Amino acid sequence: MALQVTDEARELEDIELSLLLTGIATRYGFDFRNYAQASLRRRVRHAVEQEGVSNITQLQERILRDPACMERFIANLSVHVTTMFRDPQFYCVFRARVVPMLRTYPFIRVWHAGCSTGEEVYSLAILLEEEGLYERCRLYATDISDRLLRRAATGVFPLTDMREHTLNYQRAGGTRDFSSYYHAHEGHVIFAESLRRNMVFSQHNLVSDSAFNEFQVILCRNVMIYFDATLQRRVHTLFYESLCRFGVLGVGRKETIDLIAQRNCYREIGDNARLFRKER
């Protein structure tokens, strides 16, 4: 683990980090300069280790010259190690308070912004299926990482995680046999094709891209913790513009919307589930 940082080394790291981000923005058009510093620094140090280079300058050289390395770097920045039905309480409140509202719509669009490896998308698909709503839904799952999107679209997950997923599913109010949603094969599970039918996976960059549709539900959970305040404001404006009236925004358990401009346009629903309904 790259913990050893002295004053001079830190100054040098600051310079190299700045050069790396400028280089990437110029060459590839991905601008990470408004990402939160502390977590970005950790991820870049991790990338240095993973690529087997000695410092950030060497990482930069490889990234600028090798698109495959850049793809790995983006995936590294987009990975959240998470489980299905993470924060089961969130799904309980979603079932109790959001689902009844969704029943009134003939067609439902959900946006999973920053979907990473897709656990949340499959979790919601299962919940909507159990509530008899899935047929009317389209789940748009977006991320900046093409690599992670491709993986999420396959519906393949490691078998070893299934026990934890199952426990969370039950705590989230699931009453069926969780294994009925997938079949196991050589250390992996593959989720049912019927669950993937109404999912659309596509690349979208929250830093630079604009609204692409109007949604009844937008979930962006534990994604904006990696953005600085400026970028968070931009993304919240994008979400506000993409939500229909009475649409619902869901963020992560320890994220707040207290500091955003549109704070007074939302009303929190449920208890401590970080679900907010757009009132105006």
Residues that bind another protein (CB under 8 A): 1, 3-6, 10, 36-39, 42-43, 46, 79-83, 86-89, 164, 168, 171, 222, 225-226, 229, 252-256, 259
134 vs 157, beta carbon nearer another protein: 157
Q: How many CA atoms lie within 13 A of 157 on its CB side?
A: 26
Q: Tell the smallest beta-carbon distance from residue 222 to another protein (Å).
A: 5
Closer to another protein by Cβ: residue 17 or 102: 17
Give the count of beta carbons closer than 10 Å to the beta carbon of residue 34.
Answer: 17
**CB of 6 vs another protein, minimal distance in Å:** 7
Considering the complex, what minimum distance in angstroms separates the CB of residue 142 from another protein? 18
Picking from 129, 149, 144, 102, the residue whose alpha carbon sits closest to that of residue 275 is: 102
| Least Cβ distance, residue 274 to another protein (angstroms) | 10
Of the pair 86, 277, the CB lying nearest another protein is at: 86
Nearer to another protein, 3 or 193 (CB): 3
C-beta of residue 221 within 8 angstroms of C-beta of residue 212: no
Measured CA to CA in angstroms, residue 38 lies from 43, 177, 207 at distances of 9, 41, 18
172 or 217: whose CB is closer to another protein? 172
We find the least distance from the C-beta atom of residue 32 to another protein, in angstroms, to be 15
250 closest CA partner among 276, 280, 279, 214 = 276
* Torsions phi, psi for 138 (to 5 deg): -125, 125
CB of 267 to another protein, least distance (A): 19
Q: Which contiguous run of DSSP H or E holds residue 99? A: helix 99-102
**Residue with Cβ nearer another protein (125 or 257):** 257
Coil, helix or strand at residue 213: coil
Contacts of 238 (CB under 8 A, 6+ apart): 206, 210, 211
